[in-house]
Structure 1
Amino acid sequence: MTNDKAAPASGSIMVVGGGIAGLTTALEAAEVGYEVFLVEKNPYLGGRVAQLNQYFPKLCPPTCGLEINFRRIKDNPRIKVFTLAEVEKVNGTPGNYNVSVKINPRYVNSNCTCCGDCAQACQSEVSDEYNFGMSKTKGAYLPFEMAFPAKYVISPQVIGTDDAEKIKEACKYDAVDLDMQAKTMDLAVGAIVWATGWEPYDAHRIDNLGFGQYDNIITNMMLERLASKSGPTGGKIQRPSDDKAPESVAFVQCAGSRDENHLPYCSYICCMASLKHATYIREQYPDTKVYIFYIDIRSPGDRYEKFYKKIKEDENVFFIKGKVAEVSEDPNTKNITVVAENAVTGEKTHQTVDMAVLATGMQPTVANAKLPADLKVSEDGFLINDYAKGGQFAAGCAVKPLDVISSNQNATGMALKAIQTLVKR
């Protein structure tokens, strides 16, 4: 008799990217018995979801879902997490890959207790990229309150300065290692899932919308950080030029999306994100007027459609069907005037507001950083799964723009595809 029971070819799966899709892929594979190497370029896990104030469908804070996932990872010995890590090279075939991973120095070792003494001793500040440069952070910092791994990071900009020595002296647990060097390790894995995620499209590239030129024009992800209690303003939405509570806000939809000069595709979540942002503003400022300039509102599914209808019923939220052509600033008041042609009336609309928010699209990270592997990539930078070839798969927003629920569903499917690669019949 022949034994046709499935047997593992190689028990290891590498997941590249520690955002919500990467976390889901890693957990689904590990919790059915496979060893997983989770590789993340940032010093923390959580990806873009960690930067949100709230996310759909329940409008709960990211701590709601991430805390559970972090606990599951911590409790699962099959998952090995590598942060500040980058894949440098992939060789081999499905079921038998050799992957070179570079681990960049954190300058803090496993002795760290998150006491914060290093940050208190540090005098220098660096730009806080977690808050999109809207604030500064100490050169020794915890990326965010519930960061995982729960260890401080020392910015490379501080290394070699007197401040670095002060940081080291302040640590009573001998957790600061200023001599830490980058290292490369080789890992043997049977399958790889690329959950490399997305980044906000660079609004500086949209010449007619004034980002970087006028103080009171921000992006949708910047608004997420302003609304968050862990953000640069402690959760208070205010306009950057004078910290004033905005009495009127304009949302510019499809900022760089559905545009042949920028992102030719629809980013799927921008409309819903702006509707969500309208709730942030209206909760803080019941009298503030919100103007949403749109091409068409995309609210896929019954739940999102009901959310859209609820926002439409708000007497202080106004929808203007028209693509914004230009913006300008009053140099005295710093107010922003948004100009669009109303597609319903045919008239040119000029709306002056305290602040404007650009609903910039989702661009795959791969569009700006080529991956060191034999993968199919679309013209727009999204990864194309080659199931016939197998072995390497893409999950979440590396494949297409998705919301959190869809990313999780997709990641679960890719965990299964990776497992199938490891099984010989």
Structure 2
Amino acid sequence: MADEKKFAGYICTGCGIGERLDAGQLETTAKQDGKLAEVKQHQMLCSKEAVRMIRDDIANQGITHLMIAACSRRAKVEAFNFPEVALSRANLREGVIWLRPQTSEEHDDNQETTQEMADDYIRMACAEVKYMTAPAASGEQALNKTLLVVGGGVTGMTAAVEAATAGYPVHLVAEEAKLGGVWTDLYQRVPFRAAAKDVPHGRDLDLPQPEDPGIEALAAEIETNDKISVHLNAKVTKTSGAPGRFSVDIGTESGGATTENVGTENVGAIIQASDYKPFDANRLPEFAYGKTPDVVTGFELEKLAKEAAGGPIKRPSDGKEIQSVAFIQCAGQRSEKEGHLPYCSGFCCTESIKQAMYFKAQNADCDATILFDDLRTPGAAGEDFYRSAQQAMVTFSKGKASEVAANGGLKVKFKDLILDEDTELDCDLVVLATGQVPNVGPDPYAQLAVEEAEDEEEKAKAQAILENAPPSILNLDYRQGTDLPQLKHGFVDSHFICFPYETRRTGIYAAGPVRRPMDMKQAVEDAAGATMKAIQAVENAGQGRAVHPRVGDLSYPSFRKEGCTQCKRCTVECPFGAINEDEEKYPLFNESRCRRCGTCMGACPVRVISFENYSIDTVGQQLKNVEIPDEFEEKPRILALACENDAYPALDMAAQAANSGAELELTPWARVIPVRCLGSVSLSWITDALNSGYDGIVLMGCRRDDDYQCHFVRGSAIAAERLSKVGDTLQSLNLEPERVAVYEVAITDTKRAPQLINDMAETVEKIGMSPFKF
């Protein structure tokens, strides 16, 4: 029969496995307990010869399901790449022999428990593969290489050029009448280079100087590129579909209203590069902004410098040449005052240095003073640019401004932080270094709050938030809202530690100051990075494969309709907006939006959601096929469910360190099962494990704080919410709450990760083994 399953197992005896373990016993375990018809051993399973042997068996014997017992599933991924079959791996190297110390060469006191651990991993891998099928693409995809870039600023233009250069057509949508965005009026830019290295130290050092911004040249390059279609005075009025098959409606604007001439474009991926809006300086009355034209923002000074066209900058109030200017740093920034920005915008110090040099370039005697609390000069120019301003005799004064008095002239009142005294500074012009406010749409979770409000009062509060929200940028036709989710300060969500540019909407990438505060150089680099990610998304979508962190995974969720209760938990909890609802209110899975995290599977109370290669059964059968000794053997069993993105790699690296001589080891009572995300953990696994006689359970997921590390964004936080109810389960079973522990683990926690499991072993020793032992 074409759909007949045929199982085979392969056991590696290399890397010390055959020396520490009885490979013959492992083979017997695989055949008798694992019910594998054929099992082979090889001294180096990852070698070309052994891999060829496996491939020949697949081709000639019709093998459909493989169990490989060797190293960690994170190792030798390319060697053990057999996409045409279902594959499970038993971790005998890192998971067993490297984390179990050998007491002596003559007699290993740990040999018995080490062998028992290895036998269990064989049973677990055999059980797992029996409930797997080889994933295959849905067949709905087609390769669409066209990209959509939303935003006509430097970030958006750079992204468009990068994509076109790589051979990918682009639709560039800009709200303005011309390209340039927020930096259109820039006179000069902060240099992108550091000082020349071959010039001797001294005043003649080739220090970086302000440069032409290059915005007009970039716009001209776009206009002549036949791969880039530019839509000016335009906005995205609707976005539907998924990676590889987004459908985007584009409307042009006239007189502030969207006209009827809407075009629809089909694109493979989207880059949101909508940049930022300058902070509203009207919120700074203490600095006399709005009371006198001689107090301006840094953005307004750029216009004055551009109008001067290289000549002296004139005072707005009377047109006289400016003889003294003060720059107030962090104006409305790094402040907890209501209406201020609590964060540093990152680009302001170097911008003020550049602008002070405008004045010095025209009049060396002009008194240019920069008042700062902390001075930050990131980027290639960095410290060298600061030194170039010093050589131009720009004054840097460590002080905190409190007020600008505008009675005739300007008087800046500030506290000198070096002398610790209040003082004043007279000047002709005051420049406020205001920050960046991300140009984003409404937070989709605020939109969902209206729908999910439990009473009219709660609904009214949620609606009030939306009424003050900015207009939508992407107008997503998603169950989870119209725009990209945001971080706490309103910047578009991205995993800036591991996956910059990635948002919670698969195939849609954020670039530039909409993602975090940054200067032009950083925005240019950001645009290039986001473009490369968008191209990857297009190519993966064309083959039906997942994007990060499970790049290449062909599996996608399905559900058993007859068992679905339409509770909507999967649609609400999916971090990536991959699940809508059909006309009958059943979940409608969109595999191209899906990241394959399994959060929907863990959310489902009736356990009807699964993947071809990851399901309630693939994990549930693993934990059920561990041999649970009775209480008289005094051999506890501890189940560890470890996130495959941080916790499981940390355990692997602990094993590598132990193999290199570090004093690290893992209790022999532990049985570790990697999970895609802690968000995929079903409470049924916890209940089944406790009922099966496990003495303790340790769950290890990623961090879930504001600077989250969870590779699936909210999976770890969602799991924490679910697992907070485990206490009720333990209480109903009359079990101690200490038997289940949940931890946040970083990938660098190589010492801590195994110790957390060892701590559970100590806890079990104190409170006793489970009364549910068979």
Is the shorter-chain TM-score for this pair beyond 0.5, marking a shared fold?
Answer: yes
User: What is the CA-CA distance between 1:233 and the residue it aligns to?
Assistant: 7.5
Q: 2:404 matched to which residue of 1?
A: 327
Superposed counterparts of 1:255-294, under 5 Å: 255-261=331-337, 262-294=340-372
Q: 2:314 matched to which residue of 1?
A: 238
User: What is the CA-CA distance between 1:70 and the residue it aligns to?
Assistant: 3.1
Matched, 1:22 2:100: no
User: What is the CA-CA distance between 1:409 and the residue it aligns to?
Assistant: 1.1
List per-residue Cα deviations over 1:8-36 (Å, max 9, x = no partner): 62122110001111111111112222221
Distance 1:235 1:212 in 2: 26
Superposed counterparts of 1:380-391, under 5 Å: 380-385=489-494, 386=502, 389-391=505-507
- 8 Å CA contact 2:484–2:504 kept in 1: the answer is no
Matched, 1:395 2:514: no
Q: 1:110 matched to which residue of 2?
A: none
Superposed counterparts of 1:52-63, under 5 Å: 52-57=186-191, 59-62=210-213
- 8 Å CA contact 1:104–1:182 kept in 2: the answer is no
- 8 Å CA contact 1:88–1:101 kept in 2: the answer is yes
User: What is the CA-CA distance between 1:214 and the residue it aligns to?
Assistant: 1.8
Q: 1:204 matched to which residue of 2?
A: 282
Secondary structure class of the residue paired with 1:384: coil
User: What is the CA-CA distance between 1:273 and the residue it aligns to?
Assistant: 0.7
List per-residue Cα deviations over 1:187-243 (Å, max 9, x = no partner): 221211000011211101112111101221011111111111xx2788541111111
- 8 Å CA contact 1:226–1:234 kept in 2: the answer is no
Secondary structure class of the residue paired with 1:291: strand
- 8 Å CA contact 1:17–1:38 kept in 2: the answer is yes
Q: 2:252 matched to which residue of 1?
A: 103
Gaps of 5+ in 1: 106-155, 158-179
| Pair 38,90 (structure 1): closer, same or farther in 2 beyond 3 Å | same
Distance 1:389 1:199 in 2: 23
Secondary structure class of the residue paired with 2:357: helix
- 1:365 pairs, out of 439, 453, 456, with 439
Matched, 1:405 2:521: yes
Q: 2:666 matched to which residue of 1?
A: none
Secondary structure class of the residue paired with 1:255: coil
Please tell me the residue identity of whatever aligns with 2:398: K
Secondary structure class of the residue paired with 2:532: helix
Please tell me the residue identity of whatever aligns with 2:354: K
Secondary structure class of the residue paired with 1:77: coil
Structure with the bigger RCO (C-alpha within 8 Å, sep 6+) is 1
| Higher fraction of helix | 2
- 8 Å CA contact 1:249–1:291 kept in 2: the answer is yes
Q: 2:430 matched to which residue of 1?
A: 356
User: What is the CA-CA distance between 1:183 and the residue it aligns to?
Assistant: 2.3
Distance 2:415 2:395 in 1: 15
Distance 1:415 1:15 in 2: 9
- 8 Å CA contact 2:324–2:428 kept in 1: the answer is yes
Superposed counterparts of 1:100-249, under 5 Å: 100-105=249-254, 156=255, 183-228=261-306, 231=307, 235-249=311-325
User: What is the CA-CA distance between 1:96 and the residue it aligns to?
Assistant: 1.7
| Pair 258,388 (structure 1): closer, same or farther in 2 beyond 3 Å | closer
User: What is the CA-CA distance between 1:301 and the residue it aligns to?
Assistant: 4.7
Distance 1:181 1:295 in 2: 49
User: What is the CA-CA distance between 1:375 and the residue it aligns to?
Assistant: 1.1
Distance 1:320 1:276 in 2: 16
Please tell me the residue identity of whatever aligns with 1:329: A
- 8 Å CA contact 1:104–1:183 kept in 2: the answer is no
Distance 2:425 2:270 in 1: 50
User: What is the CA-CA distance between 1:86 and the residue it aligns to?
Assistant: 0.9
| Pair 60,377 (structure 1): closer, same or farther in 2 beyond 3 Å | same
User: What is the CA-CA distance between 1:343 and the residue it aligns to?
Assistant: 1.1
Secondary structure class of the residue paired with 1:221: helix
Distance 2:508 2:439 in 1: 17
| Higher fraction of strand | 1
- 8 Å CA contact 2:379–2:522 kept in 1: the answer is no
Q: 1:250 matched to which residue of 2?
A: 326
Secondary structure class of the residue paired with 2:188: coil
Report which stretch shifted further, 201-210 or 89-98.
Answer: 89-98
Q: 1:120 matched to which residue of 2?
A: none
- What is the TM-score when the length of structure 1 is the normalising length? 0.75
Distance 1:286 1:31 in 2: 44
User: What is the CA-CA distance between 1:389 and the residue it aligns to?
Assistant: 4.8
List per-residue Cα deviations over 1:362-408 (Å, max 9, x = no partner): 11112744432341112322111345752111111111112222111
Please tell me the residue identity of whatever aligns with 2:152: G
Distance 1:65 1:215 in 2: 28
User: What is the CA-CA distance between 1:281 and the residue it aligns to?
Assistant: 0.5
List per-residue Cα deviations over 1:294-337 (Å, max 9, x = no partner): 1111012563201212322444x32221221111112xxx3111
User: What is the CA-CA distance between 1:46 and the residue it aligns to?
Assistant: 1.7
- 8 Å CA contact 1:226–1:235 kept in 2: the answer is no
- 8 Å CA contact 1:225–1:235 kept in 2: the answer is no
Gaps of 5+ in 2: 1-58, 60-82, 85-135, 192-208, 442-469, 477-482, 495-501, 544-774
- What is the TM-score when the length of structure 2 is the normalising length? 0.42
Secondary structure class of the residue paired with 1:422: helix
Larger radius of gyration: 2
- Among all aligned residue pairs of Structure 1 and Structure 2, give the percentage whose two residues are the same amino acid: 36
Q: 2:223 matched to which residue of 1?
A: 74
- 8 Å CA contact 2:238–2:249 kept in 1: the answer is yes
